[in-house]
Structure 1
Amino acid sequence: MTDEDLTEGVTWRLAADPFDHGKKEEEAVPAIQREFEAFMAGRDPGRVREIVVGWWGAGYRGHSSELPVRLLSEAGDRLRNVRSIFLGDIEQEEAEISWIEHGDVTPLLEAFPKLEHLHVRGGSGLRLRPVRHGALRTLWFESGGLPAEVVRAVGASEFPALEDLDLWLGVEEYGGDATVADLGPILSGERLPALRCLGLQDSEIQDEIAAAVATAPVVARLETLALAMGTLTDAGAEALLTGQPLTHLRRLDLSHHFLSEEMAERLRAALPGVEVDLSDRQEADEDDWRYVAISE
């Protein structure tokens, strides 16, 4: 594609071959770096707006997102108009979500002041430092285990333009050790004045989160709320019903849940003007064990 073909809607994808496990991974210049250098040499970086980063190498060989994060952030002045970055566009066939190795992703926010959308998949080794970013509108962390450090950093950051925050919290076995207390600054909404869509999903403490959400100040300004993919039971749903009103919501996503049919009907009846997603109902096993949708 030539510079003449560049448009605002073009998304550029950088990725090594996930199925080449041979000598290329051992070469002095990693494949993802060669891809990046070719990408930068082949077009005007100042016209690039959207970048997707796929496979950068196997975690068991010591490869993490630190290299692509460094390459991107060091070129931030040349990639000055980037608005969207998806770090970790890696499918299950390439690596389980818990196998995706990361490092500190804060440099992406520091190097791209015009960034509006940051999407990160994978949580192993993931780090984030508190930061202020005035342009970011969407922040998504997809993970089978999101470190509490990252959750706390999100809550301590200042994102005055952030409209959409989605955290897949995951399970402790895969590093998802955040507590309800860690979510406190997010649920207060003090540093998130523009937030309209909130997802606190895929958690094994979904009932506790629902109870905290039921009295959370941020909820009053939301349009959509997602407490999906986790272990939500009737206890969590009861907390939502007896807490602050949710009738102002446009959509409430509770899919992949462990609710009884009776509780599901109570929710629908209590929220007649809200699109309530109660799909993918699960049953606890004989030992009353419940599972999240995404872990490994």
Structure 2
Amino acid sequence: MSIHQHVDELDGLPVFEFPPATAGTALPEPGAVAWRLSVDPYDDSDEETFAERWQRFTETVELSGVRALVLGQWGEAYEESSSTVVEAVIAAKDRLTSLRAVFLGDLTMEESEISWIQQSDVTPLLTAFPGLRSLSVRGSDGLAFPPVRHEALRELRFESGGLPAAVVRGICESDLPALESLTLWLGVPDYGGDYEVSDLAAVLAGGRFPALRHLGLQNSAIQDEIATAVAAAPVVAGLETLDLSMGTLTDSGAEALLGGQPLTHLRRLDLDHHYLTGAMVQRIRQALEPSGVEVVADEQGDEDVDGDDGTVWRYAAVTE
């Protein structure tokens, strides 16, 4: 997924934009695509509100066959929360009997900065759809995620410029026995990311998500601290892929990784958008690649140096 373009696939299905009423576009079979619903509040040629488009969707498409939903702009998303969208989907739960994947907040930077997207409590989606396998959420202003139990969820993904500590704890303390992939764009304090490494304790300890094979703790201003914690975290032993990309990782955090538990069992270690020296990248590659680990560490972040006192400023990849 990218904040620069809309998602084109979800749950292995190509995304199809549910068209405006005036388009006259032929519709695919309900289960053949991931249905994307979105409105542009600034497009004078499209007078439908999201509620009206959703209503027409429910009256036009056989909902029992729908497997995946991509929910884009629901209006002025920096002023209106996603709660009405969540409520609309839940209201159709008895007809959406095949729903397996939801992406809530498929907005690009041109539509809304990620930090402006007004979210809500998204856990009712999990409660309403016990068969849901994938939930992705973009934006964190107003986001809530109290601890929840869900038997079937395999993938949970949050993209943000700053995840609140309460949300991080709620995710990590949830009971998700089938979860295979957890991705958190943790973000920075300026945009709501008031978490600390201790808020990740439940997932780092291992056992909370026994099926977990991919862990992404990304886009953080404290990436060195996270890497240091991961270096000794029991959860790592069961992983196949580890993603610490998009943050402010320096040689200090990488040194902790190299000095911690073995990582040679991983298939992939992603450290892209880093602040590592070339020598450290080489050390990591030499330590892991002979064992078959794919090391991704090509993209380096841009540093700013204060001309007055020499302070070096490093930035996470996605913030505002």
Give the RMSD, CA atoms, in angstroms.
1.7
Distance 1:216 1:32, change over 3 A: same
The residue that corresponds to 1:200 in the other structure is 217
The residue that corresponds to 1:79 in the other structure is 96
The correspondence of residues 230-249 of structure 1 with structure 2, limited to 5 A, is 230-249=247-266
Q: Tell me by how many angstroms 1:20 deviates.
A: 3.4
Q: Tell me by how many angstroms 1:77 deviates.
A: 1.5
Q: Distance in 1 between matches of 2:38 and 2:222?
A: 35
Q: Tell me by how many angstroms 1:189 deviates.
A: 2.2
The residue that corresponds to 2:318 in the other structure is 294
Q: Distance in 2 between matches of 1:89 and 1:67?
A: 16
The correspondence of residues 136-285 of structure 1 with structure 2, limited to 5 A, is 136-272=153-289, 273-285=292-304
The residue that corresponds to 2:57 in the other structure is 39
Q: 2:140 aligns with which of 89, 102, 123?
A: 123
Q: 1:100 aligns with which of 117, 135, 139?
A: 117
Q: Distance in 1 between matches of 2:58 and 2:206?
A: 39
Q: Distance in 1 between matches of 2:26 and 2:314?
A: 52
Q: Distance in 2 between matches of 1:173 and 1:21?
A: 35
Q: 2:38 aligns with which of 15, 25, 31?
A: 15
Q: Distance in 1 between matches of 2:41 and 2:196?
A: 34
> What are the superposed Cα offsets for residues 8-56 of structure 1, whole Å, 9 maximum, x if unpaired?
33111111114338996xxxxx811111101100122111111000001
Q: Distance in 2 between matches of 1:282 and 1:151?
A: 25
1:18–1:94 Cα contact (<8 Å) kept: no
The residue that corresponds to 2:9 in the other structure is none
Greater shift after overlay, 248-257 or 37-46? 37-46
> What are the superposed Cα offsets for residues 213-232 of structure 1, whole Å, 9 maximum, x if unpaired?
00101100100000000000
The residue that corresponds to 2:6 in the other structure is none
Identity of aligned residues (%): 55
Q: Distance in 1 between matches of 2:214 and 2:173?
A: 18
SS of the residue corresponding to residue 186 of structure 2 reads strand
SS of the residue corresponding to residue 36 of structure 1 reads helix
Q: Distance in 2 between matches of 1:117 and 1:88?
A: 14
SS of the residue corresponding to residue 166 of structure 1 reads strand
Q: Distance in 2 between matches of 1:21 and 1:250?
A: 49
* TM-score for both structures, normalised by structure 2: 0.87
> Tell me, which stretches of 5 or more residues in structure 2 are unaligned?
1-24, 306-310
Q: Tell me by how many angstroms 1:283 deviates.
A: 4.5
2:258 maps to a residue whose letter is L
1:126 maps to a residue whose letter is L
1:48 maps to a residue whose letter is V
> What are the superposed Cα offsets for residues 201-222 of structure 1, whole Å, 9 maximum, x if unpaired?
0000000000000010110010
2:296 maps to a residue whose letter is D
The residue that corresponds to 1:6 in the other structure is 29
> What are the superposed Cα offsets for residues 123-172 of structure 1, whole Å, 9 maximum, x if unpaired?
11111111111110110000011111111011111111110100000001
Q: Distance in 2 between matches of 1:189 and 1:100?
A: 32
1:197–1:225 Cα contact (<8 Å) kept: yes
Q: Distance in 1 between matches of 2:319 and 2:44?
A: 25
1:57–1:64 Cα contact (<8 Å) kept: no
Distance 1:13 1:251, change over 3 A: same
SS of the residue corresponding to residue 192 of structure 1 reads coil
Instruction: Give the paired residue count.
Output: 289
* TM-score for both structures, normalised by structure 1: 0.94
Q: Distance in 1 between matches of 2:140 and 2:107?
A: 13
Q: Distance in 1 between matches of 2:135 and 2:172?
A: 16
2:64 maps to a residue whose letter is G
2:293 maps to a residue whose letter is V
Q: Distance in 2 between matches of 1:48 and 1:245?
A: 43
1:101–1:123 Cα contact (<8 Å) kept: yes
